[in-house]
Amino acid sequence: MKYILFIILIFAASPMALSTDTSDDAEHVFLLPYFLGNGETGIYLTASDDGLNFEWLNDGKPILKAPEWPNESLTRDPSILFHDGVFHMVWTTSWWSRSIGHASSKDLVAWSKPQKIDIWRNRKDIRNTWAPELHWDPEQNVFLILWSTTTDAELLDNDGTGNPHHLDHRSYASTTSDFKEFSVPKLFYSPEDPEWSVIDPYIAHDDRGTSTKADDRWVMVIKNEMYAKDGGKNLRLVFSRNMQGPYKSKLGPPIVGAGTNIVNRMGEGPSLIRHNGEWRLYWDAPGSKFSYCLATSPDFKAWTNQSHRMKLPVAHMRHGTVLKVPESAIGKFQITNEP
């Protein structure tokens, strides 16, 4: 079966959905944007009623084609956020980019002209800008963009935390209220004891389910980018009382990926969603037998591999972001049988 997205979509005045949504509302749809190959063909989109069985939207064609920007014409690592009736999407523009791509849409069909955000401005010591992840920060009422970068200083400090790309990543952040003005990038997270290279941070809000908000917390899942032989190429957790940190300086143990019993090979590109009382961790495991991976946990401690339950319309989907939005936000889908 496949989904065909109506061109005319219906919007309702419903509460906004965040990338950190923890509601168990039955009237929802899971979205999974992704790229193929090297990201040269654009961004694709799938949808699911249950977060397990995904079908193409737009009949398998890109929802946004790669813009023709000199030396930065890729659409890798797409991240979509639905906020206040608008879908915002960011992506990696090239392997050695100093910029972040951005476009917006009210219906997932008509997108604004792609915007190349020169996030680093005049800094000359930047090697790359990888996998921007877009969030809404309800504490400060701003959009928060996270990504991974290697600076010259980090790369050349000879501390042994480099990786196969000959890079040494840390997590950086910038905020914006309008996608016109952006705050100066700041170091967002650098683990200590040991000081590993890390990439692909993703944040979710953890409502502990008590009568007080005092024990609520934010959880960040992030990839240890060190060599597998050095304990890396897996996903780990770290916590904070505030969305923008500070997060604990020491990462938790590996939960999925290389060195674990859940898809024991490189894991990256995580998304973390609470659904029906459990946490769902989605991630990309290039070269594994799964097009995309899933593990679940009731408490961030015990994890169960659910990857075999995932059904996707195409193999080798790469680094997307799974998000849950109200069904009213994207209109209605017509389900038809495959030819």
Domain count, the chain: 1
Contact 90, 104 (CB under 8 A): no
pLDDT score recorded for residue 10: 32
pTM greater than the 0.95 cutoff: no
Phi-psi region of 245 (alpha: psi -120 to 50; beta: other; left: phi over 0): left
pLDDT score recorded for residue 214: 80
Question: What is the end-to-end Cα distance of the chain in Å, rounded?
Answer: 9
pLDDT score recorded for residue 337: 31
Low-confidence ranges of the chain (pLDDT < 50): 1-23, 332-339
pLDDT score recorded for residue 26: 58
- Nearest residue to 333 (alpha-carbon basis) of 17, 52, 32, 56: 56
pLDDT in tens, 309-321: 999 998 889 999 9
What CA–CA distance (Å, rounded) separates 104 from 179? Answer: 10
Quote the tokens at residue 116.
């190349």
Contact 31, 46 (CB under 8 A): yes
State the residue for tokens 């694709």.
44
Between the alpha carbon of residue 30 and those of residues 46, 82, 135, 224, 282, the distances in Å are 8, 12, 16, 27, 12
Round the average pLDDT of the chain to a whole number and report it.
Answer: 89
Structural domain harbouring 118:
2-336
pLDDT score recorded for residue 212: 78
Residue 200 maps to which CATH number? Answer: 2.115.10.20
pLDDT score recorded for residue 331: 61
